Structure formats: structure tokens, C-alpha cells
Structure 1
Amino acid sequence: MIWISIIIILILVVLSLGVNIGLKETVMSKRKESRQMLEELWSRFGTDYRNYQNIPVEEVIIKSYDGLKLKGYFHRVYKDSKKVVIMNHGYTANHYIDYQFTDIFFEEGYNVLLIDMRSHGESEGKVASYGYNESKDIGSWVRWIKDKIGEDAYIGLHGQSMGAATVMLYGATHPNDIKFVIEDCGFTSAREAIKFQFRKVKIPFWPLYDLIRVKVKRKYKFDFNNISPEDAIVNSDIPVLFIHGDNDKVVPTWMGEALYNEKNGEMDRLYLVQGAGHMEAYSKDKEKYKQVVKEFLDNIK
């Protein structure tokens, strides 16, 4: 009997450690500092932030629905333009990573709002919620834009990875607020994204996922099982451009294809980038990426 008790205790200890490690990796990974992000912007994505330092910027702080301070950076290059795109970065990053995309939208006459998503950069918050709370924050930013430039603002969303999931979740449920969504390497659901990562590092999905999920639900009030961009967009009329690298080892390519096939609206487009890893679609072929985005935007005017 004593050996059985020891084995049970060991199993419980291992599970407890697994849950704590899993919790940290899924929602509380160390966030990247600004300097680190700027270095990565150049070394990995080939974009020099110094090229954007002289562009007029308004630093903005708003309150989220649950009382957090959220930080944004509004580049209003065109004073008379009603067109704005809101940029949403991925997990552990911050707004700096999105400067690589700004020229695409500036060239199309858009002003650009870059944001630090909750619990990232200079925004408050402790955990990432795979788009659940972040999509609600988009609503607060949309409200700020309309208060700033008018109810007739023409607003689009761009997001990468977790940011891509965020913009799909918001766009699908608020078609009257925005005109389009560009999602780059987004996942089908939080559950599938976590499952893929667990398998990649050979961590048993069961029972750890359910234990982590229960702890997150109890402590942070959201449920991984209820976060599904794939389910959200299926009946949505909002035009979506789906972008994915075919060498993505973080969010597999099949997820991008599944999202497109699930929605497949008349104005939707799928752009797969050969040889691109996670979040590398633009840096792999910048001119083609620009062309695809511009053609998509022209098609929905």
C-alpha cells in the first residue's frame, strides 16, 4: 500500500508541476522588451524602426472594459482621411513588431493605429487570453477612433498569430464596425493551437490541457474551449484575407487553409507563402505580400 501511495503522490506532484509550467507557457510567457523587439524587427524581419521615428504619432491611453489601461500609437499621416487600420501583434510581442506593415497601409491612404495588446508592452494586464479579452479591447479602440474622426470612420483590422485570432473574433461579431480583416498566421481555435504545441514538445495533451483549462477558467475567467475563430467566422460576411507561411512550425499551415475553407466568402482570399515560417510571410516576399493586400483592399472598395 505504501508504494501505491508514493506513486499517487508522485503522479500528483508531476501533474501539478506540469500544470504550472503549462499555465506559464500558455498565458504568462515572458513578454519581449522594447529593445529586444526592435532588434528582432531588424534582424528577423528586415525593417529599420528609425525610418518611422519622424512620422507624427499620438500616444493614446484608453480603459478596457475591465478597467485596464491600454496603450496605443496613432499615426495620423492623412488628416482628412477616414480610413484607419488597427494593427494587432502576436503573443509576447508589442506594437513595434507591426511597423513592418505600416507602409502598405500608408501607401493606400490609411492612417495606422498600433497597439500594445493587454499584458504586453506598456498596456496593463497579467495574462493573454488567446483573443477572448483582446477582441473586446478592439471594441474599445474602435470606439476611440470613431470619437476621434467620426462615426463614418472606415476601419480595418490586421493581426498576426494571437492578434490574427483577435481580429477574426472581433470582425465576425461586429460587421457594422469594420470593413475588412487581414489575418496572418492565425489559429483555428485555442484548443487546437495548444494541442499542436503540446505534441511538438511531446507533452501529453490529456490530462494536462483539461487541468490547465480548469485553472485558467477559475482564476482568469475565460475558457480555452470557447475561443474558436473558425467557429466565429463561418457565418460572417466580413471580407477576410487569410495569410499563412507553408513552413509555419508554431501555427501549422493547415489551420490557415481550414479557416479559409470554412468561411470562403465571395471577397475572401487565401495567400500561402512558400518557405515562410511563423510570422514570416511578409519578410519572405514583401512585394508579393503588398500586392496581395492591395488587391484585396481594392476588391472590397
Structure 2
Amino acid sequence: MFSLILLAWFAAPALVRRGFRAPRRLEQSSPAELGLAYREIRIPTARGKQLFGWLIPAPLSGPQPVVAALHGWGGNAEDMLPFAPLLHRAGLGVLLVDARNHGRSDSDTFSSMPRFAEDLQHALDWLIEQPEADPARLAILGHSVGAAACLLVASHRRGLAAVISIAAFVHPAEMMRQVMAVHHIPYWPIGRWVIGYVERTIGHRLDDIAPLYTLQAIHCPVLLVHGDRDRTVPVAAAETLYAHRYSDAVQLWVIPGVAHDSVEAIQAHGDRLLQFLNIAMNRDK
């Protein structure tokens, strides 16, 4: 056991850093291929870095409601493009951004869910200054790690109209324990030490950023969306989050036959999503 502890002590930092290195995929298309007008943008974020993104204005001119969408780990803005035609047809603007170390955004030392949230915060700060956006009618939508980042942002940021969380996990420590179990790494003492190292590296206690707890601090309507065939983050995660909801402003929508990365399936189920947004933004009249 002592040799295992020594191995963890020396190897864990390099392994954790490698785990925080997201695979980068560049966008291969653009909103233009869907017939959508857009602006290619650069948004300043933390540590002097720049985020790449697309702003797709609403069909009507002037300040309009906008949905800011954030991809998952190893993804990019193109992954969230399937939402754009649906939202645009409904009269909404759409902001799609790449987190740092993803897509065409700048590189940084490592990626983490709090850094996803930090990038989303900066994207929203930029968005409220744009003439196409109505600051009183902004919603955020995220997938997987991006969904957890949306919940973290909304737990601190007032004034958001709505949050849509797709395939969010319950707690990052739980996800880490599952990964370690697959690799036969004992939680005590090695796994617990690794989790402590991760907390020190990202600068946050995992309890403070876990969707299980951030959800309870959100004051706007939240829609939890999950596929019942998700094997990466099983649907039980959404059911657990919903069971710990702070009020009836949190809704749960389980989509039959949908897996973790089936973002495009939203096209077949868009009415429910639009109904939620219209009510949250007072557009249902």
C-alpha cells in the first residue's frame, strides 16, 4: 500500500494535468451552411485569452432575446449548431462560443468546468453590450460539462431569464470516482488524494461547483434535459438533480431513445424547449 501511495504522489500531478487537456476539434462548417446570417466574433476572457464564437442575430432588428450555448468537453461551437435554426425560427438570437482550449479559441494551461463557466460569464458580459441583445431576456444552454458550467454561472449571476441544462452530471467527485473504479484505483487513500489535488489545481472545492448544489442557488427557471439512453451520464443523474430542486421553477424533461451526444435529436423535440423559453422570457402571449 505504501508503494501505491508513493506512486500516486509522484504520478498523479502529471496524470491530472493530462486529464485536464481536452482534445481540440476545429469547426468544419458555419451557420451560413444552414442559411443563417451571423457574425464571427472574438470575446476577451480570463488570463488575457480570446474566445472564438458566432453571433446569429434574431430575425427582427433591435434588442432581442438571445440564447448563449456552450458545448461539452472536447466539443466546439459547431456541436451546438443544431439548436440555431430552431431558435432562430422562433425569433431568438443565438450566441455559440468555444471554451478555451476548444475549437478556435485560445489555448490555456488546462481546461476545467469552472473555466468553462468563467468563459461563459465573459461571453455574457460581452453579449449584454451588443445592440442585437436584450439584456433582460438572455438564456443559457449547455451540454454535459457545458451544462454544469451553465448551472454554476446561473448560481452566481442574477438577471438570466432561463437555463437549459442538457446531460449534466450530479457531482464531479462522483464522476471521478467512477473513472477511478474503472481503472481499479482505490478511493482511499489514492483516489481521495487525487481529488484533493484536483481541487487545489482548479482552485475550487468540488462541493462548491457541483450541479447538485449550484442548482439550489439559481433563481430563474431551469429545464433539465436528459436522454434515457445516456451511458456517459445516466438519466439517474437528472432524476437526482430534479429530486433536489429548489422549487417548481425547475423542470425535468427525459427524452426517450436519446444518448449523451445526440444533440441533433433536439430538432425532433424542439416544441418543448421553445415552450419553456417562451414562458421564461414572457413571449407566450
For Structure 1 versus Structure 2, the TM-score category normalised by the shorter chain is 0.7 to 0.9
CA spacing shift, 1:9–1:202, aligned 2, 3 Å: closer
C-alpha distance in structure 1 between counterparts of 2:67 and 2:206, whole Å: 28
Calculate percent identity across the aligned residue pairs. 23
The two structures, once aligned, show a CA RMSD in angstroms of 2.6
Please report how far the alpha carbon of residue 197 of structure 1 lies from its aligned counterpart in structure 2 after TM superposition.
2.8
TM-superposed CA distance for 1:264, in Å, is 5.4
- In the alignment, which residue of structure 2 is the partner of 1:3? none
Distance change in 2, residues 1:146/1:179 (3 Å): same
CA distance in 1, matches of 2:277, 2:18: 38
1:67 maps to 2:48: yes
Q: Does 1:287 align with 2:268?
A: yes
- Are 2:249 and 1:249 equivalent residues in the alignment? no
d(CA) in 2 for partners of 1:51 and 1:147? Answer: 27
For the residue of structure 2 that corresponds to 1:155, the secondary structure is strand
Does the CA-based 8 Å contact 1:84-1:112 persist in structure 2?
yes
Equivalent-residue separation in structure 1 for 2:184 and 2:4 (angstroms)? 20
Contact 1:82 1:153 in 2 (8 A): no
- Structure 2 Cα separation of the partners of residues 221 and 252 of structure 1: 28
Residue 144 of structure 2 is aligned to residue 166 of structure 1: no
Say whether 1:12 aligns with 2:6. Answer: yes
Summarize the Cα distance change of 1:70–1:208 in structure 2 as closer, same or farther, 3 Å threshold.
farther
Number of residues of Structure 1 aligned to a counterpart in Structure 2:
278
**Deviation at 1:174?**
1.4
The SS at the match of 2:81 is helix
Q: What secondary structure does 1:187 align onto?
A: coil
2:128/2:134 contact within 8 Å kept: yes
Name the counterpart of 1:297: 277
Distance in 2 separating the partners of 1:10 and 1:161? 32
The equivalent residue for 1:43 is: none
Give 1:126's aligned residue.
109
Q: Partner of 1:85 in structure 2?
A: 67
- 1:209 maps to 191
**Per-residue deviation, 1:172:** 2.1
CA-CA distance at 1:299 after TM superposition = 2.7
Q: Distance in 2 between matches of 1:29 and 1:267?
A: 33
2:175 counterpart of 1:175? no
TM-aligned CA deviation for residue 12 of structure 1? 2.5
Q: Secondary structure at the match of 2:69?
A: strand
Equivalent in the alignment of 2:139: 156
The C-alpha deviation readout for 1:177-219, integer Å capped at 9, x for no partner, is: x100000001122112222333345443343433333433444
1:56 alignment counterpart: 37
| Helix, strand or coil at the partner of 1:61 | strand
Does 266-275 or 215-224 show the bigger shift? 215-224
Q: Is the 1:91–1:163 Cα contact (8 Å) retained in structure 2?
A: yes
Q: In the aligned structure 2, how far is the partner of 1:76 from the partner of 1:251?
A: 33
* Contact kept in structure 1, 2:117 and 2:149, CA below 8 Å: yes
- Contact kept in structure 2, 1:267 and 1:299, CA below 8 Å: no
Instruction: List runs of 5+ in structure 1 lacking aligned partners.
Output: 1-6, 39-47
Q: Which runs of 5+ in 2 are unaligned?
A: none
- Mark the structure with the bigger radius of gyration: 1
Q: Do 2:148 and 2:168's aligned partners in 1 also have CA atoms closer than 8 Å?
A: yes
Per-residue CA deviations over 1:243-288 (Å, capped at 9, x if unaligned) read 11122221121111111221153333211122322132x4446322
